Chain A
Amino acid sequence: MTRILVIDDDVELCELLTEYLQPEGFDVEAVNDSRQGIDRALSGDHSLVVLDVMLPKVSGFEVLRCIRASSRVPVLMLTARGEEIDRIVGLEMGADDYLPKPFNPRELVARLRAIHRRTDGAAREAGSPAEAEVLAVGDLVLEVMTRTVRRSGKHLVVTAAEFSLLRELLQRAGQVVSREELAERVLGRKLAVFDRSIDVHVSSLRKKLGLGRDGFERIKTIRSVGYIYIKATNGDD
């Protein structure tokens, strides 16, 4: 059973979700209050958090900010449909994925599984020595086992989604990786028409990584194709 925390003020929806998700292999703890939600999310009891943006008193964004201040637990945001800005802000603040509300619960299950696969899979990989890979490109070092990213030895804090994204790009540094491929491998789903998740994750990642040694963006956009991690041509260091 995967323990998940649902933070949503809609009590009835929480009950229905608990009932629906239980047989799917999710042990649901529902919290209807923001402050309590923050406390529970930081308890470390859950492997996933489902967070509604439209919470009374303390908004979902504020809750996310508090969680991200000290925890990297994967967070899926439930946003209002059509509020593009909510999705972007949510992802920029470190949410791993989002789902517009109202949603089809089957879609929710698919997203939850994708996120879980990503984090759980990484943990399993870390367990086996063969997967204990270390990717080093230029001054950047990504360690799969400890899920850490270091730039010139300095530790960088990245979210689970950003970590997976960077890993995909570094594994094929110097090659273009298409947005679709990134979406499938990082988010575990296909991109819808207006889905800018990958672009937002790349954007936050760029901010965290900073410019390369030559003063250029490390991750370059290849218009209407995808992204490429620029490999320094004049050798490493």
Chain B
Amino acid sequence: MILGGAVSVVVMYTFQHLSLESMKNDVTRKNDENLARMIILSGQAAWEMYLCGGPEEYRNYLDGLAAGAGIRITLVRDDNRKITGEPLDHESEKLAVSARIRGDAIIRKADENLTVARSLTNREGGSVVVVGVQAFPPGMPPPEEGGMSFPGPPPGMPPPPEAGGPPFSGGPPPGMLPQPDGGKLHFISHLFPPFWGTGEIVRTAIMFLVVSGVCYLLARSLTIPIRKLQRIAQQIAEGDYSVRVGKIPGGTGSELAALGRDFDIMVERTEKVIGAQKRLLRDISHELRSPLARLNVALELAKKQLNAQDSISLNKIGKESVRLNELIGHLLILARLESGAGLLAVEEINLTGLVREVAEDVDFEASSKGAGVEIAFAQEVSVTGSRELLRRAIENIVRNAAQYTERDTLVQIFLSAEGKEAEIRVVDSGTGVPEQDLPHLFEPFYRVAKARERQTGGAGIGLAIAEQAIKAHGGKVIAQNGVGQKGLVVTVTFPRSL
């Protein structure tokens, strides 16, 4: 938080120091715009004055304007003469013509003078061009915001019809013409006299100290509750739903306190939902398995009573019961993994040993159909996680490969460690999977139409479990068809423990 204060001081300093120039330019431009607007408004007022009060009133107003604000206004008729009928100087005539053509304000800045021209129309359809010049004679103070002795339009005057449409709204004013004589914005120096005097430095330093102090306190009052929220969120991410944010320092009315309350409500709901799901899983497990338990005992009883230990049909019932039970088990595992309940019993696992065990087991199973499993390459790798889940995941992938590899071919397993990742690649020599089916291969009960016809029961969920289990270990699994050869390549990667 001290850092935060320091940073804000540095930022403020850089801001002041570096963007002073652009700020000055910005202020100058804005100032010019306001001035131009004022001149046009004065012109409008003068016109109104002329129409209602006659030339005498009009001249008085213009004289007052020139004396008080240094603004000289000329109203130009359509025939390019002054409204009073006097002839016009050449420069003003040119401006009046341009303003009529543009229909918009023209602002010119040369030396100390700001020249503005704009065509105006009134309700009766009459039109006139205001040409106004604001000059800063030597010795006259530069105009300051709100401090100008400027008569302005008389009170009670109805707004001129075009006053509603702001002549300079947003962006660079459209009337700002390129200055042909290269007139620069000289009066910047008037607006911003050098202010880095000793007194100013002291004042600025004090300001920075105060600002950094305030920033520090502000940052503190923000980070304390945010840290608390973060800590609670981490605990929840680790699976502890019993934690609550509770009271947040900084008052009950703050937005953060409201966030904390909403957060608690959310956690409460999540805890209930997860609790209900866990209960449901246990109930299903119990309710579906109780009949199976009875079935198993009844079956063995029947075998004994009928003295039919080798009865094919009774053994078939037994086998189907085992299969059904496995399926329930798999569904429960999948449901638990998908609910994000996390891993149980996390330990350090020798992945190489685990893959060897799986390869041996599946190799034995596959030998009946003349296929086999071999470890083509293996590095020593350890990972952290649930041994049971990881074994299941790898076993399901290898078993799937062994099921679809062709007769007398070998499923090859490559186990390697690179950087922070462990990679297991399982390659079979089957017919592969149609490209359009590849993304769905890990969906529960997804069946690839023809190419990989299911031969035995119990399939369809193994790969889904594998994917979820690998995800729970922070890894991912991808299936691709082999390049240049038939068969499927399943690649599993997860973070290894170093």
Q: Which residues of A contact B (CB under 8 A)?
A: 10, 12-13, 16-17, 19-20, 23, 54, 80-85, 88, 101-106, 193-194, 224
Q: 8 tightest CB-CB pairs across the interface, nearest first?
A: A102-B293, A102-B292, A16-B297, A105-B300, A82-B329, A105-B297, A54-B286, A194-B388
* B332 and chain A: residue at smallest CB distance: A82
Query: At the interface, yes or no: B301 with Cβ under 8 Å from chain A?
Result: yes
Instruction: Give the chain B neighbours of A102 by CB distance below 8 A.
Output: 289-290, 292-293, 295-296, 321, 325
Smallest CB–CB gap between B358 and chain A, Å?
10
The complex places the Cα of A193 from the Cα of B357 at a distance, in Å, of 10
**B329 touches which one: A81, A88, A104, A193 (CB < 8 A)?**
A81
Q: Are B297 and A82 in contact (CB under 8 A)?
A: no
Q: Are A20 and B285 in contact (CB under 8 A)?
A: no
Q: Are A23 and B304 in contact (CB under 8 A)?
A: yes
Instruction: Give the chain B neighbours of A81 by CB distance below 8 A.
Output: 285, 289, 325, 329
Q: Are B289 and A193 in contact (CB under 8 A)?
A: no
The complex places the Cα of A54 from the Cα of B281 at a distance, in Å, of 13
Q: Are B285 and A82 in contact (CB under 8 A)?
A: yes
**A10 touches which one: B293, B325, B387 (CB < 8 A)?**
B293
Q: Are A16 and B298 in contact (CB under 8 A)?
A: yes
Q: Which residues of B contact A (CB under 8 A)?
A: 282, 285-286, 289-290, 292-298, 300-301, 304, 318, 321, 325, 329, 332-333, 344-345, 350, 353, 357, 387-388, 391
Instruction: Give the chain B neighbours of A224 by CB distance below 8 A.
Output: 350, 353
The complex places the Cα of A81 from the Cα of B304 at a distance, in Å, of 26
Q: Are A101 and B345 in contact (CB under 8 A)?
A: no
Smallest CB–CB gap between A48 and chain B, Å?
17
**B296 touches which one: A12, A23, A105, A194 (CB < 8 A)?**
A105
Smallest CB–CB gap between A143 and chain B, Å?
35
* A10 and chain B: residue at smallest CB distance: B290
Instruction: Give the chain A neighbours of B333 by CB distance below 8 A.
Output: 82
* A196 and chain B: residue at smallest CB distance: B345
Smallest CB–CB gap between A191 and chain B, Å?
13
The complex places the Cα of A205 from the Cα of B497 at a distance, in Å, of 30
Given pairs A16-B294, A83-B285, 18 additional interface contacts (CB within 8 A): A10-B290, A10-B294, A12-B294, A13-B290, A13-B293, A16-B298, A19-B301, A20-B297, A81-B285, A81-B325, A82-B285, A101-B289, A102-B296, A103-B293, A103-B296, A104-B296, A193-B357, A224-B350
The complex places the Cα of A227 from the Cα of B477 at a distance, in Å, of 36
The complex places the Cα of A88 from the Cα of B388 at a distance, in Å, of 13
Instruction: Give the chain A neighbours of B282 by CB distance below 8 A.
Output: 54, 80
The complex places the Cα of A159 from the Cα of B353 at a distance, in Å, of 33
Instruction: Give the chain A neighbours of B387 by CB distance below 8 A.
Output: 194
A-B contact pairs, 19 of them (CB 8 A): A13-B290, A13-B294, A16-B301, A17-B297, A20-B300, A20-B301, A20-B304, A23-B304, A82-B329, A82-B333, A83-B285, A84-B344, A88-B345, A102-B296, A104-B318, A105-B301, A193-B391, A194-B387, A224-B353
